[in-house]
Amino acid sequence: MPVEFAVDPPLPSVRNVGIGCVGAGFIMADCHLVAYGQAGLPVVAITSRTRETAEQVAERHGIERVTADVREMLTDDRVQVVDVAVPPDAQAKVIHEICEHGRHVRGVLAQKPLGIDLAEARELVERCERAGIVLAVNQNMRYDQSVRACRQLLESGVLGEPVLGTIEMRAIPHWMPWQSRQGWVTLRILSIHHLDTFRYWFGDPERVFASVRPDPRTEFPHEDGIALYVLEYESGLRASGWDDVWTGPSREGAAADIGIRWRVEGTRGTARGTIGWPSYPERVPSTLDYTTIDDGPDWIRPRWDSVWFPDAFAGPMGELLCALEEGRPPANSGRDNLRTMALVDAGYTSAASHRVVEPAALLAD
C-alpha cells in the first residue's frame, strides 16, 4: 500500500518572531529570503559587509531596516533570531558578537559548514549554550522533498532493513571568491550535504574511508575537487558518496552529464531519486520512486512541485522557530551538527592518511 508522505517543511503556528539577516550574497538574497517570503516568516533587518548590497537586497525583498553592522542590528529589540550567512572563516566572529551583545536574541541559524572545522564548530556550540541562545545549522538538504520522503519510507519500515545507500553528484558549481582562500572545497562545502543526509537517513556510522583529488577545472589551490567516501555502519549497512565537480570536459566542448542521483536499497524494497539543484535557476523538482515486495514489481512515483533551491530553505529556519515556540531543541541543532562536522573532518583525515577513521574518536578529543 503506498505511503502517505508529508514533505512540506515545518513552520511555526505563529509567525511573528523577527529575523535579522547577516549577509546579502547569493545564498541569502536568492534562497533564504525567497523561501522566507513564501513561508510568511518576517525579516525585519539586514546587514552586510557592503551596505550598498544590503540596501539592494532589502529593497528587493521589502526589508524595512538596513544596519551598518551586526552590532547596530542587535540594538533592534524586534530581532529575536539571527540568520548568519557569511563565509565559514567569518562566521565565528559574527556568532561571538551575537552572544556578547544580542540581549534580545533567542536563536541563531548558522550557514553550513558551522565554522572552518570541528574544533571551531564545537567552540561556537558551547559559546551559544553559555549565552542561552539556541543554535541551529542550515543543513537544508534535509528539507528537500525527496530526502524527507525517503526518511519517511525508512521510518515506515516498508523498505525493510537498509543494506546500501548511495548519492552520486555530477555538477559544476560556481565557486564564490571566498572559497579560494579556504584551502578546501568539495568535502566541506558540498559533500557535507550528503554526509548529513546519510546521518538523517541512517544515523551515525562507525567508520569513514575517503579519497580525494583536485578538480582539473578549478584554478585555485585545493585537494578535494573530487571526493569519494564510504561510511560503514555497525548493522552492516554501507553508504557511499561520489561527489564530482569535474564531470568530464563538458565546459570544454564535450557533452554534459549533470545531475544528482541517490538510491537506498533495503531487504524489502528500494527507493531511488534525483535532486534538481544542478538545474538552478530552472525549477526542476526533486523526485522519488520506490518499489517494495509488498506492492508488487512496479515503481511507485509520487511527485511534488517544490524544489530544493530555494523552497527547502524555509525548512531549517522553520525548524528553529518551531523549536523556540515549543521549548525543545531543534532537530538541526548545533550540538547535533557536530556529528556531521565530525564526518567531514574524518573524511579529510582519512584522505590525508589513506586509512579508515572513526568519527566518534574525533568527537571525543
pLDDT of residue 194: 98
pLDDT at 261 over 80: yes
Neighbours of 282 (CB within 10 A): 8
**pLDDT for 245-255, tens place per residue?**
999 999 999 99
DSSP assignment letter at 276: -
**pLDDT surpassing 90 at residue 3:** no
Scanning the chain, the segments in alpha helix (DSSP H) are 26, 33-39, 51-61, 70-73, 88-101, 118-131, 145-156, 186, 192-202, 314-326, 334-353, 359-364
Interval 197-220 mean pLDDT: 97
pLDDT given at position 296: 85
For the cut 90, the answer to whether the pLDDT of residue 361 exceeds it is yes
Q: What percent of the chain has pLDDT over 90?
A: 96
pLDDT of residue 223: 94
pLDDT of residue 174: 87
What average pLDDT does this structure show over 318-347? 98
Claim: this prediction has a pTM higher than 0.95? yes
Query: Among 260, 233, 265, which residue's Cα sits nearest to residue 153?
Result: 265
Over residues 103-125, the mean pLDDT reads 97
The pLDDT of residue 2:
78
Q: For the stretch 215-251, what's the b/e string if a residue is b when 16 or more beta carbons lie within 10 angstroms of its beta carbon?
A: beebeeebbbbbbbbbbbbeeebbbbbbbbbbbeeee
CB 152 within 8 A of CB 3: yes
- Torsion angle of alpha carbons 225, 365, 328, 343, nearest 10°? 20
The closest of 265, 260, 165, 183 to 223, measured between CA atoms, is 183
Residue 225 · residue 351 · CB < 8 Å? no
**Cell, residue 225:** 575537487
Contacts of 106 (CB under 8 A, 6+ apart): 17, 80, 81, 133, 134, 324
The model's pLDDT over 69-98, given as tens digits with 9 standing for 90+, comes to: 999 999 999 999 999 999 999 999 999 999
Q: Which among 203, 189, 143 is positioned nearest to 339, based on CA atoms?
A: 203
- In 3-state terms, what secondary structure has residue 320? helix
CA 202, CA 179: separation in Å to the nearest integer?
30
Average pLDDT value for the chain: 96
pLDDT value of position 280:
92
The pLDDT of residue 365 is above 90: no
Residue 198: per-residue pLDDT: 98
pLDDT at 1 over 80: no
pLDDT at site 224: 96
If pLDDT is split at 50, 70 and 90, which confidence band does 226 have?
Answer: very high
Residue 148: the pLDDT is 97
Residue carrying C-alpha cell 533587518: 45
Spatial CA neighbour of 342 closest among 182, 185, 204, 174: 204
The backbone torsions φ and ψ at residue 82, rounded to the nearest 5 degrees and listed phi first, read -115, 125
For the chain, the straight-line distance linking the first and the last C-alpha, in angstroms and rounded, comes to 47
Is 20 a residue whose pLDDT tops 90? yes
Region 296-322: what's the mean pLDDT?
Answer: 96
Contact 319, 17 (CB under 8 A): no
One DSSP character per residue, 188-230 reads: IIIIHHHHHHHHHHH---SEEEEEEE--TT--S--S-SEEEEE
